Chain A
Amino acid sequence: MTATPGGTAAVGLKPRATRADRLRQLVPVIVLVVMYAITVGIAPGYLKAPQIGSLLQLASILGVAAVGQTLVILVGGIDLSVGAVVTMTNLMAAAIIANRDTSLPVALVVVLGIGALVGLGNGLLIQYLKVPDLVATLATMTIVVGVGLLFTHGSPKGHSSPALNALVTQRFLGVLTGGVVIWAIVAAIVIIFLRSSAGGRYVYAVGLNREASRYAAVPVTRTVILLYVASGLTSALAGFLLTGYTGSAYLASGDTYQMQTIAAVILGGTSMFGGRGGYGGTIIGVLITVLLVSALRVVGIVQAGQDIAYGIILLSMLVLLTRMARRSA
Chain B
Amino acid sequence: MDQAGTSGSPLIELRGVQKHFGGVQAVRGVDFVIPAGTITGLAGENGAGKSTLLKILAGLHQPDAGEVWYYGELQSGLTPSLAKKAGVAYVAQELSLFEGLPVSENILIGQEPMWGPFVNRRRLNAEAKRALDIVGSQIDPDAMVRDLAFADRQLVEIAKAMVGSPRVLVLDEPTSGLRQAEVGRLIELMKDLKKTGCSVVFITHRMGEFFEACDRMTVLRDGAHIATLGIEEITPSQVVDLMIGRQLAEVFPAKQVTEPDAPTGDALVMKDFSVHGTRVRAVTVSLQRGEVLGIAGLAGNGQTELLEGMAGVRKATGDYLVGSSVGPFRSVRSALRAGVALVPEDRKRHGLVLAMAVYRNLTLPVLRGLSHWGLVNGAREGSMVKDVISAVQITPPDPEVPVESMSGGNQQKVVIGKTLLTEPDVYLLSDPTRGIDVKTKFEIYSLIRRLAASGKAVVLVSTDLAEITSLCDRVLVMAAGRVVAELGGDHINEREITRASFEAVAL
Residues from chain B with a CB closer than 8 A to the CB of A14 are: 357, 400
A198 & B360 in contact (Cβ 8 Å cutoff)? no
Name, among B349, B385, B400, B418, the residue most crowded by chain A CB atoms within 10 Å (CB to CB). B400
| Interface range, B side | 35 or more
B313 CB contact (under 8 Å) in A11, A209, A214 = A214
* Separation of A276 and B331 alpha carbons in the complex (Å): 27
* Separation of A9 and B376 alpha carbons in the complex (Å): 9
B375 & A12 in contact (Cβ 8 Å cutoff)? no
Does B489 belong to the interface (CB within 8 Å)?
no
Residues from chain A with a CB closer than 8 A to the CB of B422 are: 217
B360 to chain A, nearest CB (A): 5
Does A295 belong to the interface (CB within 8 Å)?
no
Does A196 belong to the interface (CB within 8 Å)?
yes
Does A183 belong to the interface (CB within 8 Å)?
no
Does B354 belong to the interface (CB within 8 Å)?
yes
- The stretch from B15-23, B128-136, B296-304, B362-370 touching chain A is B362-370
B364 & A209 in contact (Cβ 8 Å cutoff)? no
A222 to chain B, nearest CB (A): 10
Give residues 250-289 of B contacting A (CB, 8 Å): none
A217 & B332 in contact (Cβ 8 Å cutoff)? yes
Q: Chain A 153-179, CB within 8 Å of chain B: the 1/0 string?
A: 000000000000000000000000000
Name, among A14, A209, A214, the residue most crowded by chain B CB atoms within 10 Å (CB to CB). A209
A205 CB contact (under 8 Å) in B344, B350, B351, B356 = B356
A13 & B382 in contact (Cβ 8 Å cutoff)? yes
Least CB separation from B369: chain A residue: A198
A216 CB contact (under 8 Å) in B357, B376, B418 = B418
Give residues 384-426 of B contacting A (CB, 8 Å): 385, 398-402, 418, 422
A211 to chain B, nearest CB (A): 6
Does A275 belong to the interface (CB within 8 Å)?
yes
Residues from chain A with a CB closer than 8 A to the CB of B382 are: 12-13
Residues from chain B with a CB closer than 8 A to the CB of A41 are: none
Does B371 belong to the interface (CB within 8 Å)?
yes
A196 & B376 in contact (Cβ 8 Å cutoff)? yes
Residues from chain A with a CB closer than 8 A to the CB of B400 are: 13-16
Interface residues, chain A, with chain B CB atoms under 8 Å away: 5-6, 9-16, 18, 192, 196-199, 201-202, 204-205, 208-209, 211-219, 275-276
Q: A197-B376, A199-B374 are in contact. List 6 more A-B contacts (CB 8 A).
A: A12-B377, A13-B378, A13-B399, A15-B402, A205-B360, A275-B355
Interface residues, chain B, with chain A CB atoms under 8 Å away: 313, 331-333, 336, 342, 344, 349-357, 359-361, 364-365, 367-368, 370-371, 374-379, 381-382, 385, 398-402, 418, 422
Contacts A/B (CB < 8 Å), 20 sampled? A6-B355, A9-B378, A10-B378, A12-B378, A12-B381, A13-B382, A14-B357, A14-B400, A15-B400, A16-B401, A198-B367, A198-B375, A201-B360, A204-B356, A208-B354, A208-B356, A212-B349, A212-B352, A213-B364, A216-B364
